[in-house]
Structure 1
């Protein structure tokens, strides 16, 4: 076993463990807050779905890291199909949830004289429907993955286009281009919404800062809750874009140049899982009051309705 395979395996295992821990802690605090009857913010539902999607994405790191340590670890026929299918679905939901979070925050901070201001009241009502639609679209878009996924023992006499070490994806033939267009279009739509919303938020923040600088400066150096929430979401989006682009570059290198070494493939998987692993720790800072709520409620027997979350 090469040293770099071991190094990548350690990174994958550590990344998966920390990511699952962070997402589980964040999700547990939401559950405690809901059971305590605490008033929830509209964005909480989006973050919950994002956290669940991140946990599913990280589950792939378990067989992937095991494969990096052991060259003889394979999943069975059914496990291969379910692992790759739900990994892609969860990845799409993670992208869609991040995009929806950006769009909702852009609507929230929009000026009262803008066209988006008319949606401020109605937008929270459509969050649940939007998230349900996001899950449904991803389940349908990637429904073909189980058809063209098989275990290692099924690779004889077939053309393989992707080898994950523990299972493989076979060549769909003439449908390959159609699938590529479908999958790319799905990502581009969410990416476009995310970029537009993020750009709009940056524009609004800069414009607001310039207009109110002479008022806010003598009062308090602390920014408004809306600005802090927007900064958190912009940081989240920036991390997603950064790691996703690197993952695409590595995947393209493997595909185009036929560099099918195991360690490079595992590196691409590790980069793709960076956002789900880092995401909860970025959100923990924003939801610091939620963690104080969990600590308070865990030491009190009285109802905690008086404690509210920050935006």
Structure 2
């Protein structure tokens, strides 16, 4: 039993550390961009908020899960427990919304100029910022309900009708209230997943048609992918990874919600599956974006330049 708890704790610790470092590095990359002449694109703005959401989700889920796995289960106050679940819910929701906005925006961007999306293609960059902030606002409104059902393991209230999550407890309410709240959360998730699948299929179709169209061009030209094509492939990779891990996480989350007294194994697997995408997504973005090392080195060189020092 002790060896199993130690192994689970090491898994949580590794996953949380790797994920936080990856998202923090990518966030620093976008901060460095603001000190250069590089102009942030709309996709960079979405990536930045996706990184913040993933960082928030890992911090509020991975850290307490790791501490609970190592035996520190009674560490959160009543307010701290509610705040962590609220912030994790917001981070998870914004992560889903950001991927959805990113996929839809890229599908519109790579569409042909003579398509019926031509007018929307010009206006799309203007809608990115309002869409992201609307996503944050909606997730805050939706997830503010969930802390009302929570109580800390430090709470002195004698509540017998509760579900223990090791570092927090969830008060069981009637089936009708639970079903309504689950439907409220699921609606936005299903809507985003539907838009993602539509956008991904559209992008695949556009890329396939473009490949067929340029087959007659010389191999030296056709073999070099355009920036739009590389960005689309990156988003498709990010999207497929998200759908895969989100589906696994949702299956375990449904099983967990239907269990009155979930086992430790089920709690651990559900938490591990929920943190996989926030952990791997920054590395997918950095591996596909060749600007990351170039911008960092360029910024380091500019720091040493006399002209920049004079301007500072």
Please report the TM-score for the alignment, with normalisation by the length of structure 2. Answer: 0.92
Distance 1:290 1:218, change over 3 A: closer
Number of the residue aligned with 2:7? 7
Report the equivalent of 2:235: 233
- How far apart, CA to CA, are the structure 1 residues paired with 2:241 and 2:113? 30
Q: Deviations over 1:210-254 (max 9, x none)?
A: 121221534352222111111100000111111111111222333
Shift of 1:94: 0.2
Match of 2:123 in 1: 122
Deviation at 1:263, TM superposition (A): 2.8
Render the CA deviation track for 1:38-63: whole Å, top value 9, x for unaligned: 21111111011000000000012011
Query: How does 1:130-145 map onto structure 2 within 5 Å?
Result: 130-145=131-146
207-216 or 222-231, larger mean C-alpha shift: 207-216
Q: Name the residue aligned to 1:19.
A: 19
2:71 maps to what in 1?
Answer: 70
Give the 3-state SS of the residue equivalent to 2:214 in structure 1. helix
Q: How far apart are 1:71 and its partner, in Å?
A: 5.8
Residues 166-206 of structure 1 deviation map (CA, whole Å, 9 limit, x = unaligned): 00111232311110110110111111111111111011111
Alignment partner of 2:43: what SS? helix
Query: Partners in 2 of 1:30 and 1:198 — Cα distance?
Result: 26
Q: What SS does structure 1 have at the residue aligned with 2:215?
A: helix
User: Is 2:67–2:73's contact at 8 Å kept on the other side of the alignment?
Assistant: no
Equivalent residue number for residue 55 of structure 2:
55
TM-score by length of 1: 0.92
106 and 263 in structure 1: CA distance in 2 versus 1, 3 angstrom threshold: same
Between 4-13 and 194-203, the greater mean CA deviation after superposition: 4-13
**CA apart distance, 1:36:** 2.0
State how far apart, in whole Å, the 1-side matches of 2:254 and 2:273 are. Answer: 13
Contact 1:71 1:165 in 2 (8 A): no
Q: Could you tell me whether the CA contact under 8 Å between 1:85 and 1:142 is conserved in 2?
A: yes
* Residues in 2 aligned to 1:219 and 1:287: alpha-carbon distance in whole angstroms: 21
| Distance 1:257-1:171 versus aligned 2 partners, 3 A rule | closer
- Equivalence for 1:164: 165
Contact 1:8/1:267 (8 A) holds in 2: no
CA distance in 2, matches of 1:257, 1:141: 23
Mapped contact 2:74–2:154 kept (Cα < 8 A): no
Deviations 1:129-158 (A, max 9, x none): 001100000001111111111101447334
Instruction: Establish whether residue 34 from structure 1 lines up as the match of residue 34 from structure 2.
Output: yes
Aligned-residue Cα RMSD (Å) equals 1.8
Give yes or no for contact 2:94–2:136 (8 Å, CA) kept in 1.
yes
Sort the Cα spacing of 1:218 and 1:288 in 2 relative to 1 into closer, same or farther, 3 A.
closer
1:61-118 Cα offsets, whole Å, 9 max, x none, are 0110111121644311111000001101110000000000001100110011212222
What residue in structure 1 maps to residue 113 of structure 2? 112
C-alpha distance in 2 between matches for 1:68 and 1:7: 9
Deviation at 1:270, TM superposition (A): 1.0
- Which deviates the most, 86-95 or 6-15? 6-15
**Which runs of 4 or more aligned residues in structure 1 lie more than 4 Å from their structure 2 counterparts after TM superposition?**
none
- Structure 2 residue runs without a partner (length 5+): none
Unaligned runs of 5+ in 1: 305-311
CA distance in 2, matches of 1:280, 1:250: 24
Q: Is the 8 A contact 1:253 1:259 kept in 2?
A: no
Contact 1:5-1:262 at 8 Å conserved across structures: no
- 1:275 and 1:184 map into 2 onto residues whose CA distance is 19
SS at match of 1:165: coil
| Bigger shift: residues 214-223 or 186-195 | 214-223
Asked whether the 8 Å contact 2:214–2:222 carries over to 1, the reply is no
Identify the residue that residue 219 of structure 2 maps to in structure 1.
Answer: 217
Tell me how far 1:290 sits from its aligned partner. 2.9
